[in-house]
């Protein structure tokens, strides 16, 4: 948030776009649920549910924690694992 923007101004500016994103997520989860019951145990669905729980908690740094949830663990041999050319 820019230094001179109040939380109220930010909320006013971002409320409708944020509401639209939440509705989009809800619609996607509804379509997945209607599409195949077996997907409820899919690790990706579980990961999405964990991220939504993080959104609702009162802890700070939600964005950072959710980013870590969706990130791969660090692999010091990542260039070999991803078959990157040697320099």
Mean pLDDT of all residues in 43-61: 94
Under the banding of pLDDT at 50, 70 and 90, the label for residue 2 is low
Is the pLDDT confidence value at 1 over 60? Answer: no
Q: What DSSP string runs through 32-44?
A: HHHH-GGGGG-HH
pLDDT tens figures, 17-44: 999 999 999 999 999 888 887 887 889 9
Q: Which residue has the higher pLDDT, 33 or 51?
A: 51
The sign one gets for the Cα dihedral 56, 59, 60, 62 is negative
The verdict on pTM exceeding 0.75 is no
């Amino acid at each position: 948030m820019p230094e001179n923007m109040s939380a109220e101004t930010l909320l006013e500016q971002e409320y409708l776009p944020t509401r639209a994103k939440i509705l989009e997520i809800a619609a996607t989860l509804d379509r997945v649920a209607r599409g195949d019951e077996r997907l409820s145990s899919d690790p990706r669905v579980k990961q999405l549910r964990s991220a939504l729980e993080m959104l609702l908690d009162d802890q700070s740094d939600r964005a950072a924690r959710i980013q870590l949830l969706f990130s791969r663990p660090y692999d010091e041999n990542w260039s070999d694992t991803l078959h990157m050319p040697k320099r």
